[in-house]
């Protein structure tokens, strides 16, 4: 039987071994909770994001949960940030179930170290957004053509003709409704007259 080998990589390896990795993650998570936006290497940011997301899930359990307090005390080096974690970040994401953080890669590479950089931030932070919302570019060919067509339509008499046709259609519908009402009244009157005649025939003494 042939043995199948799988190469497992449960986490990102960092220099210094597992102990140094945990200490580095603690430092990064503490800085993220304190400043709510940090700039670091892309690989470290990608690894830190998973722990930062999980920490918010713990904070939503409240500071009265002994296990939650124990986890926060383990990951946050600055003990003053424990209060912010439970009283600020936890209530902020009370109605959210995921996507507490945002990872944005910085274009290019670091000038000195030549590595990819990224921004890691908590959603709802007080800083200006890093990405610009898409705005209408008036110089695009499609926008120029649409604006030109709208201008020609306003300058032409097409809109006036449409309004006249619409008004005539409305008047035509009103006339039809009036005619239909007259026809219904006439039919109702004939029905009443026919009913009275039948009643007169039935009231007499049979011969």
Query: By mean pLDDT, which of 2-16, 17-31, 46-60 is the weakest?
Result: 2-16
Alpha-carbon span 161 to 153, nearest angstrom: 12
pLDDT (0 to 100) of residue 68: 94
For residue 30, the domain's CATH number is 3.90.1030.10
pLDDT category, 109, cuts 50, 70, 90?
Answer: confident
The pLDDT of residue 165 is above 80 = no
Band (pLDDT 50/70/90 cuts) for residue 70 is very high
> Confidence class of residue 19 from pLDDT cuts 50, 70 and 90?
confident
Indicate whether 113 and 160 sit together in one domain: no
* Whether the predicted pLDDT of 206 surpasses 60: no
Query: In this predicted structure, what is the pLDDT of residue 204?
Result: 42
**What is the structure's pLDDT at 181?**
67
Q: What is the pTM of this model?
A: 0.58
pLDDT at 101: 95
Residue 195 shares a structural domain with residue 113: no
How big is the chain by its Cα radius of gyration, in Å? Answer: 38
Judge whether 137 lies within some domain: no
Same domain flag for 24 and 118: yes
Does residue 21 form part of some domain? yes
168 is a domain residue: yes
Among residues 68, 88, 122, the one where a domain terminates is: 122
Which domain, by its residues, includes 27? 17-122
Q: What residues pair up with 119 in beta bridges, in sequence order?
A: 39, 104
Query: What does the pLDDT read at residue 183?
Result: 61
Please indicate, yes or no, if residue 38 is contained in any of the structural domains: yes
The tally of domains found in the chain comes to 2
């Amino acid at each position: 039987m042939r043995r199948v080998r799988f190469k497992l990589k449960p986490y990102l390896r960092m220099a210094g071994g597992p102990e140094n990795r945990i200490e580095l993650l603690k430092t990064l998570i503490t800085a993220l909770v304190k400043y709510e936006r940090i700039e670091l290497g892309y690989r470290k940011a990608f690894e830190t994001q998973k722990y930062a997301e999980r920490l918010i899930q713990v904070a939503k359990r409240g500071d009265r949960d002994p296990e939650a307090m124990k986890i926060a005390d383990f990951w946050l080096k600055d003990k003053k940030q424990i209060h912010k974690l439970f009283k600020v970040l936890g209530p902020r994401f009370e109605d959210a179930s995921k996507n507490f953080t945002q990872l944005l890669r910085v274009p290019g590479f670091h000038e000195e170290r030549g590595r990819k950089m990224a921004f890691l931030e908590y959603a709802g932070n007080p800083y200006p957004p890093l990405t610009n919302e898409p705005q209408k570019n008036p110089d695009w060919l499609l926008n120029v053509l649409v604006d030109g067509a709208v201008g020609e339509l306003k300058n032409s008499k097409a809109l006036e003709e449409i309004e006249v046709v619409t008004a005539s259609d409305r008047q035509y519908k009103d006339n039809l409704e009036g005619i239909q009402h007259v026809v219904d009244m006439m039919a109702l009157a004939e029905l009443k007259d026919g009913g009275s005649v039948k009643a007169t025939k039935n009231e007499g003494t049979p011969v």
